[in-house]
Structure formats: structure tokens, C-alpha cells
A = this chain, B = another copy of it.
Amino acid sequence: MSSVTELLHTKYPLVQAPMNWATDARFVAAVANAGALGVLGPNAGLSEMVHGSSAHERQLQAQLDQVRTLTDQPIGINVVLEPDPAPHMNSTLEVAFANGLRYFAVVGEPDQAVYRRIKDHGGVILARPLTPTVANAKAAEAYGADILVATGYDEGGILPQHFQGTFTVVPTMADAVSIPVLAAGGINDARGVRAALVLGAQGVYVGTRFLVTAEAPVAPAAKETLLAGSYDQVDLVSHDQRSLMTPGAKQLAARFKETNDGRAIDQIIAQRGGMLPGLRLGQVDDNIISTNTGLDLIKHGGTVAELVEELMEGIK
């Protein structure tokens, strides 16, 4: 099989996860210049909600224009699979195709039609099922995915619902498919990178650890909260979201324990803007701050370039 660095034309087999509200052109270009694959994520470059397809397309185009002034390295874009008519997904794909982007981090259950559209435009597909299973991993490969992202329950963000940790999901998926696997979930230091490779991954997909880097478009208060936090202060607020126990998150976690109604809590969080108010705007006390389960391994911030070198210490 081709290596991840051959497929992505990067120095390192490292992909930056397209964390919602926490990417922008400057950050993604910094990742690309550091030798990894930077990925423009949902709401890239924004600090407020934007509505409508044409506004979304203009915003994305502006981000891509800015990336081009900052790096000549390849970058990727996040595509969240949606049911028809899929307005957001379609406008993302159209802008990406028009700009000749090649790397697509596609999140959701493998979708043969969408994969084919991307392949028809010469795209490279990093398939990331929200909940990896042997069955959907094999489907992703059969539908043309180039790389599989195996996400463990150790991750930050929207959690897999199969309760399989990074330690076991990575070798399981590496055995299930012939395409390269990227390990995701809890990779915060060089030990995690080396362990992922030992477990059968060909590279890594890193989110939470990037949040505290200098270039990440994350509010200083949120960075400080993450750097000061310990996983002993983290809990589930719903079936698929965990957070540092800010006062606001503590209320949500208590309600979740009492009612077990995760969907109601997910709706509250969505109505408040998801990661926008806490992470992007720094209104930490009232909102959730998502993190992976390796929070104690995040000991300092630093630049993107420093982090990439630190993670990849000893890796070709």
C-alpha cells in the first residue's frame, strides 16, 4: 500500500483534525508549513454563525484565498456527509472542486455516491466514520476511500457510540482494511504517535492537542482552561459529548445523569452554538469545553511547528 505521506504529499503522516470553530486559514497554513496536512474545518475563520449557502461559499473562498498567500503546501477540507438535499455539503464540495483541492476529510457513514464525486474530481478521501466498525471500514474501502481514520472513544468532539478505545480500534481497523489507517483519539504527545504506529496505524489524526497552539483560533481563556485542566475534571454531558466541568457544563452533566436524555442536552448545546461560545469566544464558564481523555498529557502550548516536531520526534 502507498504510505500516508505519499498519498498526502506531506513530510509527516500527520493530519490535523477539522475541529469545528477552531480552524482558519492562518492556522491551517501553519500546519501545512510544518509538514502535516492542515484541514479547513466547519466554520473555518468565523467567530459568528453565517447562514445560507452563498454566504458559506463566499466565506470558504475567502479562507482558501488567504491560505494561498500563506503556504504553497497541500491542504485539506472537511466534508460532513448530509442526507439530500445536503446544501452545506454540496456548497463545500463545489468550492473545493473549483479551487482544485485534493484532500477531503469526509466524516460520516461511507457514502458511495459522494466518494465517487470526489474521486471524479481527482480527490483523495480520508474516510472517517463517526463510529468505526469493521463493517463500515470495509465499506469505506470498497467505495474508494484512500485512507481510513480509526477514531477511538478517547477522542474529543462528537464521540463514537461503540465505546471502543483508540488502543483497540486501531489494530482492529488495521486488520479489517488494506488501505492505510490513521489513529485518532487521545494523541497528545510523541508516545501516542509511536504507540499508534505500533498498533498498526500508518499515521495519526490529531485534534484536541492543536487547540492550545499559538496559531489556533481559540480564545485565550479556553486555551488556559485546557492547559490548567485535568481529566479528573472532565465528564460526559450527553451520550456523545464530554467537557471540562465548567459551571455550565456541570449543570448539563448533572441533568444528563438525572434524565439520561442526551439528545435534549445536545440540542441545548447546539442552540448555544456548539463550540462557538466556549472555545472560540472564550465564554468558558457558561459553556462546554470539549477535550480528549488525555488532557493531563497536554502540558504546554507552543507554536504549531513546535508541536508537529514534538509529536513526530523520531518518526521519519
Contacts and interface: CB of A to CB of B under 8 A. Distances in A.
Interface stretch (A62-70, A246-254, A274-282, A291-299): A291-299
A172 B133 contact: no
A236 B175 CA distance: 24
Interface in A226-256: 230-232, 236, 242
A265 to B, nearest CB: 14
A71 to B, nearest CB: 31
A191 B200 CA distance: 8
Nearest to A176: B296
Interface residues of A, number: 41
Contacts of A195: 167, 195-196, 198-199
A25 B199 CA distance: 33
Contact of A236 (B163, B189, B192, B242): B163
A164 B172 contact: no
Determine how many copies of this chain the complex contains.
2
Interface string A171-198: 1100110000000011011011011101
Given A134-B230, A199-B191, A294 B172 contact: yes
B171 A189 contact: yes
A162 interface: yes
Given A199-B192, A232-B133, A260-B260, A293 B165 contact: yes
Contacts of A171: 189, 191-192, 294, 297
A152 interface: yes
Interface in A137-165: 152-154, 162-165
A166 interface: yes
Interface string A264-292: 00000000000000000000000000001
A295 B172 CA distance: 8
6 contacts: A152-B165, A163-B236, A166-B167, A167-B195, A168-B188, A195-B195
